């Protein structure tokens, strides 16, 4: 489990095609405190540490994960939002995040809004029931609050968020441009509520 509060920005140093894709990621984490087999969220994707050294760790990215995550995420030089797994007693500063990507969104526009950045994101129709104004959403691993929600021209859903200067500086969201794809994880509570409503309707 994670909170969506990013604690480092890593960089993909090397990629090697094995049975799965072995990805080596540079980090500022003290890797002596990270066990092999530990989970680290990489731009919203929960992955297992399979190798490590001073200033780096490696993960195996399966074909299924690659197919369900944003384009270009696992390329050399790509910057990734990193978060170590939540420990009992840690502050829950964002919201409950599982590290499982529910869909891919696309940045429609990036605009200045005071000192912040206002992003408009489009997402697939399947995610529409789970995205609500003032609700939580995770974009590339970052816990954010939805401002407004409307229907998108392609039949999907369009929503806006504000990225404050601190978040822009401490995550990769400050680098976003129109057309960029993003990993989206919906609020886990919204997922369960939707399922409960579906079951109640057929009972």
Give residue 203's pLDDT: 62
Q: Taking residues 40-52, what's their average pLDDT?
A: 98
- CATH 2.40.30.20 in the chain: give the residue spans: 8-84, 103-202
Nearest to 123 by CA among 99, 140, 146, 107: 107
Give residue 199's pLDDT: 65
Nearest to 75 by CA among 18, 25, 15: 15
Give residue 87's pLDDT: 78
Contact 183, 99 (CB under 8 A): no
Dump pLDDT digits (tens) for 12-28: 999 999 999 999 999 99
User: What gap in Å lies between CA 64 and CA 193, rounded to an integer?
Assistant: 26
DSSP structural state of residue 175: G
User: What gap in Å lies between CA 77 and CA 187, rounded to an integer?
Assistant: 30
Task: Identify the CATH assignment for 8-84 out of 3.50.50.60, 3.90.800.10, 2.40.110.10, 2.40.30.20.
Answer: 2.40.30.20
Dump pLDDT digits (tens) for 156-184: 999 999 999 999 999 999 999 999 999 99
Sorted by sequence, the CB contacts under 8 Å of residue 43 that are 6+ apart come out as 69, 70, 73, 80, 81, 140, 141, 172, 183
CATH architecture designation of domain 103-202: Beta Barrel (2.40)
User: What gap in Å lies between CA 39 and CA 41, rounded to an integer?
Assistant: 7
Percent of the chain residues topping a pLDDT of 90? 80
């Amino acid at each position: 489990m994670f909170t969506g509060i990013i604690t480092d920005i890593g960089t993909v140093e090397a990629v090697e095609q094995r049975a799965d894709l072995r990805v080596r990621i540079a980090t500022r984490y003290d890797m002596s405190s990270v066990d092999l087999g530990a989970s680290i969220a990489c731009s919203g994707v929960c992955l297992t540490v399979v190798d490590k050294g001073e200033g780096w760790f490696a993960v195996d990215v399966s074909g299924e994960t690659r197919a369900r995550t944003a384009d270009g995420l696992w390329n050399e030089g790509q910057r990734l939002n990193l978060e170590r797994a939540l420990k009992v007693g840690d502050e829950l500063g964002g919201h409950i995040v599982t590290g499982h990507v529910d869909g891919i969104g696309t940045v429609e526009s990036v605009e200045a809004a005071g000192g912040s950045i206002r992003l408009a994101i489009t997402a697939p129709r399947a995610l529409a029931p789970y995205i609500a104004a003032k609700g939580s959403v995770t974009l590339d691993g970052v816990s954010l609050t939805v401002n407004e929600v409307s229907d998108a021209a392609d039949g999907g859903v369009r929503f806006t968020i504000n990225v404050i200067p601190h978040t822009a500086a401490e995550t990769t969201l400050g680098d976003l441009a129109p057309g960029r794809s993003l990993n989206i994880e919906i609020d886990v509570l919204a997922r369960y509520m939707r399922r409960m409503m579906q079951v109640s309707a057929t009972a």
